[in-house]
Every structure is written in C-alpha cells, then in structure tokens.
Amino acid sequence: MTLTVAIIGRPNVGKSTLFNRLVGKRVAIVDDMPGVTRDRREGDATLSDLSFRIIDTAGLENVHDSSLESRMREQTEAAFLEADVALMMIDARTGPTPVDEHFVQWLRRHKTPVILVANKCEGAAGQSGLLESYALGLGEPVPLSAEHGQGLVDLYNALRPYADLAKEQASWKRKQQQRTEILPNVDSGEEGDDDRILNRPIQLAVVGRPNVGKSTLINKLLGSERLLTGPEAGITRDAIMVPWTYKEREFNLVDTAGLRRRANVSGKIEALSGAETRRTIDFSQVVALVLDANDMLEKQDLTIARNIIEEGRALIIVVNKWDLITNSKEALNKLHDRMQTSLPQVRGIPVVTVSAKTGKNLDKILDAVLDVFEVWNRRVPTAKLNRWLEHILEHHQPPLISGRRIKIKYITQPKTRPPTFALFVSHAKGLPESYVRYMSNALREDFELWGVPLRVVVRKGK
C-alpha cells in the first residue's frame, strides 16, 4: 500500500500541471491523445525519494454535458475518499474565491487530511493571495509554482509525514491481515452464490512488465480485431470486458482503458502504469502474469505478483518467448527456485511455458486458468474440515502461551475466492503467527489448494 494523494480544486488552478510534473511523461502522452475521455487520471508520482499514487480530478471540466457537474462532484468525492491525503489547490494570483470556500466546506465534512496548496506563486503576483489563503482555515499554505517547479521542497516536507504513516500502516496491515479480515456470516447461504458465480464468465487479466509479449499474446489468443473493436470505454473509465469461449466456458478478458489504448496506438505508450495494473487486477478473478523467458521473476515481476496475491486473486505464471530457450530444464529449475524464495506465500502457482510468437502451448494457458479458478472457488465442507482438525491436533498441538494451551475448537470455511478459513480458539489473543502459518500450509497441502492465496483468520470461539 503506497500513499495515495488526490489533487482537488476548482478548474484552472493548475491541478493537471502539478499532476504532470509529478508523474512525468508517462501519463502526459495519454493526455495528448484526442478522444480519451476520463473523469480522473491516476499515476505513479515521484517527488525526490517519495513515491506515491496520485489522482487528478481534472479533465471533466472541458466536457460539456448537463449531468457532468454532478458526476464531477462524484468523481472528486471518490478520489478524495480513496486518498490518504488531499492537496487542495487554489490560485494564489486570484486569491481564495467563493468556489474555493465551497470546496473547503465540503472537505471539512470528511476525515481525509488536507494540505492547502497555493499555486502560481512564482514572482510577486501571488503574494497577497498567499496571505489571504490563511483565511480558508486549512493551516499554512504550501506556496507552489507547478509550472515553474518552484516550492516542491515545501510540498515534499508537507507530504513526508503522510508517506511515513502509510508505510507504517502497510506493514501493520500485512501482519494483521490474516486475523482481522471481516468475514461474512458462516451461515450466509453462500453456496448458492458459488453456483451463480461459477457459471458466470471468468474474469481474466493478462498483466506483466513492458515487452514481455502481452500484446502479442492477447492478440494471438483473441484475434487482434476483437481487441480493437471492443465496446467503448464509458465515461467512468470502467474496465472493458472482451468475451470469448473456451471449452464451453465463457471468459472475459479484462481490458482497462489503458490496455486498450495501448493496443490502439501500437506501442506509442510505453506500458501500463502501476496504478493501471492494479486497477486491472481489481477487476479480475484470475490473473495471468506474463514473464519473459530470458529474464524471469525480476523485481518488477515480483511486485506485480505480490500485488495479485495481496488482492486475493488466483494467479498463473505464463513464461513467454519459450522459443528462445535452449535448455528448458535448467530454465524451469531456475524459475521454481526463484518462486520458492521470492513468492513463498503461495505454493504451487501454475506455470505455463509458451511462445506467443509461434502460438505454441497457448491453449495450456486457458486450461491452467480453468484449474486455478476451480481451486479459488473450492469449498471444503465443515464436517470434513473438523475431522481434519482433529487429526492435525493429534500431531501438532498449538504451543503453550504463559503456561496455558490455547484450544482450537472449531474450523469453518466461511468464504471462497480466495479460500478463507476461520479458526475458533479459546483465547482472545489467538494463536501465534507461526502456528497459523503451519495450519495454512497444512490446509493447502491436504486439500490441494495449490496456486491460490489462502487466508486463515483466528477468532475467539464460543
């Protein structure tokens, strides 16, 4: 979880200018392309040693449509609620206006912290407006000139504490994730839902770093014309689904606007940004992570893989350009070693070696997707789980905690997608992390839950 920052303010204060400066040319290219309507832009920003996700709520102002005003408000609100901190931008040359005050009042109703940024502060023309902006009651303004790149050090200093906080929260969250996840009611009758979802199209995404061969692969899988003639992206910038069928199962290729744009301009845009990859993952159920056979599981690959796992999606690894590999046994061993050391949290991730260029093994991808989707949806009956638990406890009791043994009373699987298990224990403090990990590994092995994230939560039982 990196820090997320939203830029908020009325039109023309310089939000886009700041956005472009922080994100750099990656997104600026998108901006130059006509016909791309969007409510907001997101990008991976850097400011000195800070990296964060930034959301710009500009873009809609230039579109003329009667319902747009409310939609713009909605978008601003959504961006604001997603953000860890908001930059409320005003134009120091005009000073605070009634519209700015209106924004500030609205901001006050929410809990997201706000940093006031007075833009266009270069030269003397901004001085009085800068002073007036104290009256907005948002504390000391950060004087900035987005256009001239002045005041970025002040902006850095203002954002720094939030970045530190986000880092701290992320590590805390990772530790707590297994325990504090909110579970649906055990008796929620989810079985029926399972059937419904199992018969719906599988949402599949193809992700990976630039040049591993995603476009070639997708075009080969679908036929290129289909990708290019997919339904238009709505103004909400939702993902596009490109349908097709394999072995009587329906699939939807999850295609974000970014992916489609990329295919349309054939290489003009370098790659999906990290934010777009994350969005794509959000919209999918199974994610095929494409690797380049010449350079498997390097740092960026691992970042994406961990993101997929954290989001609880089913994952398969597609090693592309296998036609270039001469010693395939050695290459596969190397890959499995790397998976064991760098992705230990999910064992048994399916690996498919393919060549998008020659078309070799491409249908194996879809077979692997079908398999892993089934595991992702698998539900182990409660009676079976509790028989298993008895057996486990005979072999490996939980450790003593201050002289007392924590009793595990009961286990259920309240949730699938990904498989999630609840252990009911006698002691509110729960089980030591190491024992939870042991249970998790044992569940995976004994119920063959290979290749999917698996969650175990501990609750105090009745």
| Binding stretches for ligand GDP (CB under 6 A) | 9, 11-17, 58, 61, 119-120, 122, 145-148, 208, 210-216, 320-321, 323-324, 355-357
Spatial separation of the C-alpha atoms in residues 27 and 43, rounded to whole Å:
7
Nearest to ligand GDP of 42, 413 (CB atom): 42
- Minimal distance in Å, beta carbon 253 to ligand GDP? 14
- Minimal distance in Å, beta carbon 14 to ligand GDP? 3
Return the number of other C-beta atoms located less than 10 Å from residue 78's C-beta: 16
Nearest to ligand GDP of 214, 278 (CB atom): 214
Nearest to ligand GDP of 210, 348 (CB atom): 210
Nearest to ligand GDP of 357, 379 (CB atom): 357
Nearest to ligand GDP of 170, 324 (CB atom): 324
- Minimal distance in Å, beta carbon 301 to ligand GDP? 12
Spatial separation of the C-alpha atoms in residues 156 and 50, rounded to whole Å:
8
Nearest to ligand GDP of 210, 432 (CB atom): 210
- Minimal distance in Å, beta carbon 449 to ligand GDP? 30
- Minimal distance in Å, beta carbon 214 to ligand GDP? 3
- Minimal distance in Å, beta carbon 289 to ligand GDP? 11
Q: What length is written for the chain? A: 462
Which residues, 6 or more positions from 460, have their beta carbon under 8 angstroms from its beta carbon? 424, 425, 426, 427, 428, 430
Beta bridge partners of 289: 207, 317
Spatial separation of the C-alpha atoms in residues 268 and 277, rounded to whole Å:
18
